[in-house]
Amino acid sequence: MPRLSPIPCALNVKPDAVSATPGKRDLQPAERFALRVGDSAIDGLGVFALEAIPVRRKIGELRGESISVREARRRAKGRARIHIVEVSETRAVDATESTTALRNINHCCAPNAVLRISQGRVEFYALRDIEPGEELTCHYGESHHEGRLSCRCGAANCSGRL
């Protein structure tokens, strides 16, 4: 089965759908650096750094509703843009109803950030020094698009497919 990846989307913003009993780490802000969501030259909305982010620093997390992988695949069916990431064999995070800025991160074939799954959390780290105003991007890896979407990231090594 294909894995799911966050896809940028311009859905209306609603309060975070995190669990009713958040763990201690949920009380930390989802973003460690000032970020802005705005129009992207790559696709739809993107997320932009408002301040410099040094290489290897944690940028923030994608937060959302914790659901089963089975439910994630049900929700992803027939939707062009999704904000779901599988975090284990059985669990996934759906950020569709989340205000997390990082849910808008676009794919790029030469990204400046990387998505890592850590203990059921979706975390983003800087792959290089990022300047204020730069759009944050990550490599989606295997996505539910399975190469059916064309990539417009503009990178020199762009594979042309998502």
Question: Minimum CB separation from Zn ion for residue 110, in Å?
Answer: 8
Length of the chain equals: 162
Q: Report, in Å, the least distance between residue 152 CB and Zn ion.
A: 7
Q: How far is the CB of 13 from Zn ion (least distance, A)?
A: 27
Contacting residues toward Zn ion, per CB under 5 A: 109, 151, 153, 158
Select 4 or 108, whichever has its Cβ closest to Zn ion: 108
The distance of closest approach from Cβ of residue 127 to Zn ion in the complex, given in angstroms and rounded to an integer, is 15
Nearer to Zn ion (CB atom), residue 54 or residue 154: 154
Q: Of 108, 120, 112, 80, nearest to 96 (Cα)? A: 80
SS3 25: helix
Give whichever of 109 and 130 is closer to Zn ion, judged by the CB atom.
109
CA distance 121 to 41: 28
C-beta closer to Zn ion: residue 81 or 121:
81
Label residue 99 left, alpha or beta by phi (over 0 means left) and psi (-120 to 50 means alpha).
alpha
**Spatial CA neighbour of 16 closest among 94, 76, 123, 125:** 94
